[in-house]
Homo-oligomer: A and B are copies of this chain.
Amino acid sequence: MKENSHIGNYQFRVEPFSEDVTGQISWGHLGNVLLRCAQFHAEGCGFGFGPMSRERLSWVFSRLILDFPNGRPRTGDDYVVSTWASTIFRQFTTRLYEVRRPDGAPWGHVYSVWALIDLQTRQPMDLMALPTGSFSDILEPVPADFPITGPGRIRVRAAVPVAERKVCFTDLDVNGHLNSIRAMEWVLDIFPLERFQGSGLRRVEMAYAQETFGGERLQFFVEEREDGICDVELRKAGSGTVAVRAQLLF
């Protein structure tokens, strides 16, 4: 990882009470660390909008891919998160992350796509025409050896849900949406505990397609392939509109 002022580097330690039952940092805590790093970095670069900012704009995930093929850090382990924005395309920006051990060896990589929502109109902003100007001058390219393949195609033909959840108070973020990290946890929780033992879950891809509000019910549909890949859709009960797609690699 080259040193560059447009790459944010943040040091963390896996603290007690942030692990899952395997003793590794939980996927939820890891997801929240990624959100924090995005905010630290964007603030430092002058585009860290939030719902409480004067502009009333809020960054939301469109895609989130976490690839940790050899496990995640464990209690007391130090780790470094590096993050940078790599592309802007109309209403979307790509943010990449590398999670490393103190000696520089990678633990995992994260590929994310974000949109900036105007909370008055609920519409995504054109990222080339922001009130503070664009941030295209701080983009860093995708390294040639960046190991994550981009978003895949997720399609589930199943017609019978395996679970249903209602969006409640603690599921909501400040925008009044189903929290993106909670949605990831919901996807994991449709699988039995045994799947997470041993080499366990290696890769999670989340695609946030539609806003989901408090009180709405989501039904979970799953399609498992032979190669350990599971495609998941969360569809709104009633309309059947897909709110979230996900793909897990065990």
Contacts and interface: CB of A to CB of B under 8 A. Distances in A.
Contact of A21 (B32, B39, B76, B173): B173
A214 interface: yes
Interface of chain A, main secondary structure: loop
Nearest to A59: B16
A218 B17 CA distance: 22
Contact of A75 (B26, B174, B196): B174
B20 A170 contact: yes
A143 to B, nearest CB: 26
Interface string A35-53: 1100100000000101110
Q: Considering the complex of A and B, which 9 residue pairs feature the smallest CB-CB distances, nearest first?
A: A168-B189, A170-B185, A21-B172, A17-B35, A19-B174, A52-B75, A16-B50, A16-B39, A193-B214
16 contacts: A15-B36, A17-B36, A20-B169, A21-B169, A21-B172, A23-B52, A26-B170, A28-B170, A50-B75, A51-B75, A52-B75, A75-B174, A168-B189, A170-B188, A170-B189, A171-B189
